[in-house]
Amino acid sequence: MNKLSEFVKTADFKSEKHVPVIDCPDAVKAGEWFTVNITVGKEIAHPNTTEHHIAWIAVHFLPAGAKTTLEIGRFEFSAHGQSPIGPNQGPVHTDSSVTVRVKAITGGMIFATAYCNIHGLWESDKTVALV
Ligand SMILES: [Fe+2]
């Protein structure tokens, strides 16, 4: 029997345009706000068309020593050039980049998952330590 996790892909973001890139400090102070930016297509642009686009990014946090992740946020990108006139003729697009402010009382790992409507699920992670 297949598991969803078997279909979640990852790679080096410098050579694969689907991998979400997590930009945030390597170490933070407990209880202080810090900024996490996640971008798909940071090094190699991903298409953003009606037919082929990044639909959403989800962000989770695994506190050090925990066995369950906690969802930080879920971000949907809904404008990809669609229009009553036809595909790719609409006046607006949303880019697959999000910024969220976070504070934590423990270090841990941030996980980002992105969904391309053609190429499926992609993930990456980054460890955040306490100063
Ligand atoms: Fe794609």
DSSP string, 66-79: -SS-EEEEEEE---
pLDDT exceeds 90 at position 89: yes
- In angstroms, what is the span from residue 122 Cα to ligand 1's centroid? 10
Stretch 40-54: mean pLDDT: 97
Q: Active site includes 18?
A: yes
8 Å CB contact between 113 and 122 = yes
The total domain count for the chain is 1
16: pLDDT confidence band, cut at 50, 70 and 90? very high
Here the CATH number for the domain that contains residue 116 is 2.60.40.730
Mean pLDDT of the chain: 97
What is the pLDDT, as a whole number, of residue 71? 98
Query: Given a cut of 90, is residue 103 above it in pLDDT?
Result: yes
Is-catalytic flag, 17? yes
| Structural domain containing residue 74 | 4-130
The confidence score (pLDDT) of residue 40 equals 98
Q: Mean pLDDT, to the nearest integer, of 16-42?
A: 97
Q: Is 46 a catalytic residue?
A: yes
| 93, 119, 123, 126: the active-site residue | 119
Q: Identify the pLDDT of residue 1.
A: 85
Which 8-state DSSP code applies to residue 131? -
Cα dist. 121→11, 19, 51, 114, 115 in Å? Answer: 12, 9, 16, 6, 5
Residue 93 falls in the annotated catalytic set: no
Instruction: Write down the catalytic residue from 32, 43, 51, 52.
Output: 52
Active-site residue flag, 51:
no
What mean pLDDT do residues 73-101 have? 98
Q: Is 29 a catalytic residue?
A: no
- The CA-CA-CA angle for residues 42, 46, 48, to 5°, reads 125
Mean pLDDT over 60-83 rounds to 98
Q: How far is the CA of 29 from the centre of ligand 1 (A)?
A: 36
Tell me the C-alpha distance between 95 and 86, whole Å: 20
The residue annotated as part of the active site, out of 18, 42, 53, 60, is 18
For residue 5, pLDDT over 90 is answered with yes
